[in-house]
Amino acid sequence: MSKTVSELAQELGLSKQYLNRILSQNNLGRKKGNKKVVSDIDEKALISILESNIGNKKSETKTETKKVVS
């Protein structure tokens, strides 16, 4: 059964804007009236894309600066 971006975002715990961007970049989902609908096949593809994106996230690192007193 198809789901709207809003339903899918709530289910996955992501923002609607982020999902819309990923769907548009990968040509997934379709418009039905004024809503974007994601089919079951597109949902599986989206989840695999999101899983592969997890490794691509930049990790936060702290840089420390040391003061040299002479």
At 21-52, the pLDDT tens digits run 999 999 999 999 999 999 999 999 999 999 88
Q: Is residue 14 part of a domain?
A: yes
Those residues whose C-beta lies under 8 Å from the C-beta of residue 43, and which sit 6 or more positions away, are 3, 8
- Tokens for 21? 């961007």
Q: What is the DSSP letter of 57?
A: S
Residue given tokens 């930049």 in the structure block:
58
Q: Is residue 29 part of a domain?
A: yes
Q: Is residue 69 part of a domain?
A: no
Q: Is residue 67 part of a domain?
A: no
Higher local confidence (pLDDT), 24 or 67: 24
Q: Is residue 43 part of a domain?
A: yes
Q: What is the domain range of residue 29?
A: 3-54
Q: Measured between alpha carbons, how far apart are the two ends of the chain, in Å?
A: 70
pLDDT, position 53: 81
Q: What's the whole-model pTM score? A: 0.70
Q: Is residue 68 part of a domain?
A: no
pLDDT, position 35: 92
pLDDT, position 15: 94
The number of domains in the chain is 1
